[in-house]
Amino acid sequence: AQRVTQPEKLLSVFKGAPVELKCNYSYSGSPELFWYVQYSRQRLQLLLRHISRESIKGFTADLNKGETSFHLKKPFAQEEDSAMYYCALSNSGAGSYQLTFGKGTKLSVIP
């Protein structure tokens, strides 16, 4: 069974400090990992996906298959980064499309 773990429910950092949101997964196949973000009073939206190896809003995430991790990082936190962050795993290779989410980490950036 696939599982996503986000160990921190809440993470508070000062503006300008580095940010790392942790995500570990359990999956027997070839994983597809995503980070979704929900800003206050907005809908859940994609931040980035490992397959694109992209940097969005200064955030990056590297898939580490050895450690089964997909941590989200940003070198300098901004106040507008305050939001709820969800790590998600997709099993789209199994004939269906399903996302398994972690329980989320609330990031609070202190001015």
Partner 1 sequence: KAGVTQTPRYLIKTRGQQVTLSCSPISGHRSVSWYQQTPGQGLQFLFEYFSETQRNKGNFPGRFSGRQFSNSRSEMNVSTLELGDSALYLCASSLSRGRGTEAFFGQGTRLTVV
Residues lying near partner 1 in the complex (CB under 8 A):
32, 34, 43-46, 49, 51-52, 86, 90, 92-104
- Pick the closer one to partner 1 by CB: 27 or 34: 34
- Pick the closer one to partner 1 by CB: 78 or 84: 84
3-state secondary structure labels for all residues of the chain: CCEEECCCCEEEEECCCCEEECCEEECCCCCEEEEEEECCCCCCEEEEEHHHCCCECCEEECCECCCCECCEEECCCCHHHCEEEEEEEECHHHCCCCEEECCCEEEEEEC
- Pick the closer one to partner 1 by CB: 57 or 103: 103
